């Protein structure tokens, strides 16, 4: 059985590789979710007027990797204390969100968020939203597997945006 998970953590280019490298992951697709415009384009989403976030949809085998493990991986790719975007990417379309598909996933995400808050790892509150999953729209082809197709630009962006140094420092 294949299951789906959807996470928003800023630029979707940087959210693909950490999941794709895990055993049990079937596919990771960059796209848009959470908004009110059907089939949005990248240009529309980046205006902040569609309500969508850049996100990744992960298809996985729950017999090999659990939703709880996916949530743990998710936290380690983000700054969970920044509700207004992630790293150099600012605005609603880059906000951090865990999108749950059912009550079990919601409970796992909420418990994990509380554990992270209680851990003391961060001095500021954990502000990542946990919201019901809605329609996921795959992004344009040039956004898919960006880290593979544009290795140098991806590396420069990951470092230049501040994501890589933050993750090294906090995770």
Q: Which residues are catalytic?
A: 11
3-state DSSP assignment of residue 25? strand
Rg (CA), the chain: 15
Cα distance between residue 147 and residue 75, in whole Å: 20
CA distances from 55 to 7, 49, 116, 117 (A): 5, 16, 21, 23
Nearest in space to 58 (alpha carbons), one of 85, 34, 33, 30: 30
Which alpha helices (DSSP H) does the chain contain, by range? Answer: 13-20, 42-45, 67-75, 103-119, 146-149, 151-160, 163-170
């Amino acid at each position: 059985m294949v299951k789906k998970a959807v996470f928003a953590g800023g630029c979707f280019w940087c959210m693909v590789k950490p999941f794709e490298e895990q055993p049990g992951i079937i596919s990771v697709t960059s796209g848009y979710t959470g908004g009110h415009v059907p089939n949005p384009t990248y240009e529309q989403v980046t205006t902040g007027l569609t309500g969508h976030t850049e996100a990744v949809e992960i298809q996985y085998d729950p017999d090999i990797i659990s939703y709880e493990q996916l949530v743990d991986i998710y936290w380690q790719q983000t700054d969970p204390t920044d509700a207004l975007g992630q790293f150099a990417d600012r605005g609603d379309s880059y906000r951090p969100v865990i999108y749950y598909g059912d009550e079990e996933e919601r409970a796992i995400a909420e418990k994990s968020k509380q554990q992270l808050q209680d851990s003391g790892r961060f001095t500021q509150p954990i502000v990542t939203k946990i919201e019901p999953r809605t329609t996921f729209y795959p992004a344009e082809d040039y956004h898919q597997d960006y880290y593979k197709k544009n290795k140098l630009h991806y590396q420069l962006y990951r470092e230049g945006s501040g994501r890589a140094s933050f993750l090294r420092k906090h995770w």
